[in-house]
Amino acid sequence: MRMHSFALALAAVVVAVPAAAAEEQPPRIAVHYNDLDLTSEAGQKRLDVRLERAAREVCGMNETAIGSHLRPAHSAECYREARRNLDREFAELVSRKSAVGG
């Protein structure tokens, strides 16, 4: 079975929300890459841009609190955790694609 998208489920989001809301599933965004050649630098850069956008959206990094230009602390923590996880998955995926030639 070939995986053609990352599903972002961020536990950091659940930790940061009140207990009543924590029972809900963390937000997910599918990041498709089956149209990209991950053996090329251009394809890898394009996927990284998609992952960046998805992590920012899931963690609310593009939103600001009313009356402030600062993002909530839980958004920044969520984003850092998301990027750590995505960077690890990205490296594993690119390594596998490079090893099998696409």
Q: Are 82 and 28 in contact (CB under 8 A)?
A: no
| 3 state DSSP class of 16 | helix
User: The whole model's pTM is what?
Assistant: 0.68
pLDDT tens digits, 78-98: 888 889 988 988 898 888 888
pLDDT band (50, 70, 90) for residue 31: confident
CA-only gyration radius of the chain, Å: 15
Please check the confidence at residue 18 and state whether its pLDDT lies above 50.
no
* Residue among 36, 73, 77 at smallest CA distance from 55: 77
pLDDT of the residue at 78: 87
pLDDT tens digits, 34-74: 899 989 999 999 999 999 998 888 888 876 656 666 567 78
